[in-house]
A and B are shown apart, each in its own frame.
Chain A
């Protein structure tokens, strides 16, 4: 048998056995502690594996990355803010920053509008469940797979030959010249964002759809009886009531846009001025051998995300207060 199969079986059976064994053992440990202190010790034993892993893989490395961002590429010479100065003065990194900000604005806008549109529209048809599932499917496949699918959509063949890519094929059918979708700067970033929006719209749709169904039908009925049109109904009742949910979707998409990596990596690898922050960091680290600069890019990414973290924590606190 493949040695990996044996390893996998050992891990699948062994690791849970160890973990469950650990929890059973905690009571033995707790029993050793004086009775009045047992309740104080127990929670920490239950939390220990989780906190340890989170600390080792998220907290500590992020701090270490910050330290590394202050050193040169060998990691030995203290560099101060030099790596950050480089980031804000070099053309490549500034393009990545610009594109990430474009992603942030457009992806959020596309997904919120797309999610709202589909949620409201599908709410009015009997085959809503099927329609929603089909819009949601792209989230189940990998972003790499989505990149391959869309590379084919955007495929460009020289003028005069048969266009096999879907979009250029449609253009050709209408007698229009082929467009090199992914090669013209700025426009190409927008096409990549459309790919990401194709993936994420389903997410916004199910959340907004659930919120939509939470709106009291009596409220809408009362407004209808009072003579409000469907448009007025949407603008003055539905939309304001959906606002908190829209805010949730928007913050999620801002974070998604800032962390985006896969789609660009597979489709252009950052060429033709499509680079974004996460990919720029990867290039600095693996292609240019600049761990200090790569760390600075990562820390700037963290700084950009911190406002979203604050918003999430505030929202969580309000949620907990209601509970």
Chain B
């Protein structure tokens, strides 16, 4: 996922019936057709994941929409028993949680300094951060792999044995920071100046102002960032592929396991579909529960969601 500075005025007009809601049938038909077309691929996956193996290979999935169709949860049982799916689910959690907490915390410090402290070179430094938003990760992996290898952070090194995901945590922190700093600084910079000035007059130091004012007032932006970073890391393939590796047996996150299953064709569509759906379950729950925050995070805070 790429997130870049977005300048959009997102004032949702409050006036009801601000323009005539066109009742033309064409608009409804087109809308519904587009939505169905968009859902069709996912629906095919979902239906196939609940069909018996025989049916999946012999008949097209929509035949299962007939009342006589058979459904089963065997595919899910199978993938949990036959592959390392549950382990991969835990690995994904262990990778994602620290990879979310660390960059957001560090970014909050930096964003506060950028927003409310004066120092020479501040604007230039922040513009550099904006520039770094677009650096392709591909350009960074080889030197990092060399250093990680030499320090034993990856492979069978001593650090890798004790803290298997340290490399991914650090990498996600470094990669996620420019966007996190950008989003939080823009939000914190928009907080009312008077609040910080009066706190300063009352004798509150920067640490107090940060924890008592800046952080509580920035909760919407922090929530957006946490949700965005969580889903970004959970869904990440590239960073895991680089710093964990596709063949690293018990350390694979869900995305890598699923990619491996795909390449080996996973023993059949029905199993692959079940595994794919399991990998999507958490993101889907998070998305539907925190939709507005996710949209806001993904669009760099520009769209209120």
Binding site for B on A (CB under 8 A): 2, 4, 7-8, 11-12, 15-16, 19-20, 23-24, 26-27, 39-40, 42-44, 46-47, 49-51, 53-54, 56-62, 64-65, 68, 117-118, 121-122, 124-127, 131, 133-145, 147-153, 155, 162-164, 166, 169, 198, 203, 206-207, 210-211, 213-214, 217, 220-221, 244-245, 248, 251-252, 255-256, 258-259, 261-262, 265-266, 269, 277-278, 281-282, 285, 291, 294-295, 297-299, 301-302, 305, 308-309, 312-313, 315-320, 323
Contacts and interface: CB of A to CB of B under 8 A. Distances in A.
A319 B185 CA distance: 14
A244 B298 CA distance: 18
Nearest to A230: B22
A178 to B, nearest CB: 12
A312 B4 contact: yes
Given A126-B21, A149-B41, A144 B259 contact: yes
A261 B238 contact: yes
B269 A23 contact: no
Contacts of B3: 252
13 contacts: A12-B101, A16-B105, A23-B207, A27-B205, A140-B283, A141-B283, A145-B279, A148-B276, A210-B8, A248-B7, A266-B262, A282-B241, A302-B135
A309 B134 contact: yes
B181 A50 contact: yes
B157 interface: no
Given A117-B34, A141-B280, A143-B237, 12 more contacts: A4-B164, A26-B207, A27-B207, A50-B177, A54-B129, A56-B174, A61-B144, A122-B31, A139-B1, A142-B236, A252-B2, A309-B134
Nearest to A40: B119
Interface string B247-287: 00000001100110011000001001100100110011011
A237 B117 CA distance: 42
Closest 8 A/B residue pairs (Cβ):
A57-B174, A50-B110, A142-B235, A64-B143, A140-B287, A61-B140, A46-B113, A210-B10
Interface stretch (B54-62, B66-74, B75-83, B216-224): B54-62
Contact of A265 (B205, B259, B295): B259
On chain B, which size bracket covers the interface? 35 or more
B231 interface: yes
B132 interface: yes
A121 B276 contact: no
Interface string B112-125: 11100111001101
Given A19-B106, A166-B44, A203-B298, A217 B140 contact: no
Contacts of A162: 58-60
A59 B171 CA distance: 13
Given A57-B175, A313-B127, A291 B303 contact: no
B109 A23 contact: yes
Interface in B123-169: 123, 125, 127, 129-144, 162-164, 169
A250 to B, nearest CB: 11
B48 interface: yes
Nearest to B254: A142
